[in-house]
């Protein structure tokens, strides 16, 4: 019997939180550290900005129990919304003052892209889990 890669119907909020922590520790922290140490070398952070989302989501999907595809995507979108909201309010406040629509597009569009990239990574992680992890013997 082929197993389908669909969630059990309930969102596992525990894995949303765990994946959010993964994103902070293994996605955001390396970006900040690399950009502080090598401010003129933008190729490595540029690659990690896109690849890191997929890799961290894949690792979370692989390590999780059961099928968790939506959880890493929700965590990634939440992280991006928080980061971009912080940027819009505290880093570039005058650029977004009086331009609510521009601020919303600045936050929502990247969050949607990251959501889709994270869904892809989580699907790859679940696929790897299904192929590589040992399964308990079937009871007949």
Q: Each residue of 21-46: pLDDT tens digit?
A: 999 999 999 988 998 888 888 888 88
Q: How far apart are CA 41 and CA 46, in angstroms?
A: 9
> Tokens at residue 90, please?
């505290």
* pLDDT of 89: 75
* pLDDT of 98: 62
Instruction: Name the strand (E) or helix (H) holding 43.
Output: helix 43-63
pLDDT at 82 > cutoff 80: yes
Q: Which contacts qualify for 26-34: CB closer than 8 Å, 24 or more apart? A: 26/52, 26/56, 26/59, 27/52, 27/53, 27/56, 27/79, 28/79, 28/83
* pLDDT of 74: 95
Q: Taking residues 81-99, what's their average pLDDT?
A: 74
């Amino acid at each position: 019997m082929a197993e389908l890669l669909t969630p059990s119907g309930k969102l596992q909020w525990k894995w949303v939180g765990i994946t959010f922590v993964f994103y902070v520790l293994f996605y955001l922290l390396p970006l900040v550290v690399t950009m502080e140490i090598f401010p003129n070398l933008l190729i490595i952070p540029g690659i990690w900005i896109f690849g890191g989302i997929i890799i961290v989501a894949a690792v979370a999907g692989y390590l999780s129990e059961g099928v968790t595809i939506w959880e890493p995507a929700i965590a990634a979108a939440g992280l991006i919304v928080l980061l971009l909201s912080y940027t819009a309010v505290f880093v570039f406040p005058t650029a977004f003052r009086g331009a609510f629509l521009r601020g919303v597009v600045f936050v929502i569009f990247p969050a949607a892209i990251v959501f889709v990239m994270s869904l892809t990574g989580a699907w790859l992680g679940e696929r790897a889990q299904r192929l590589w992890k040992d399964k308990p013997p079937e009871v007949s």
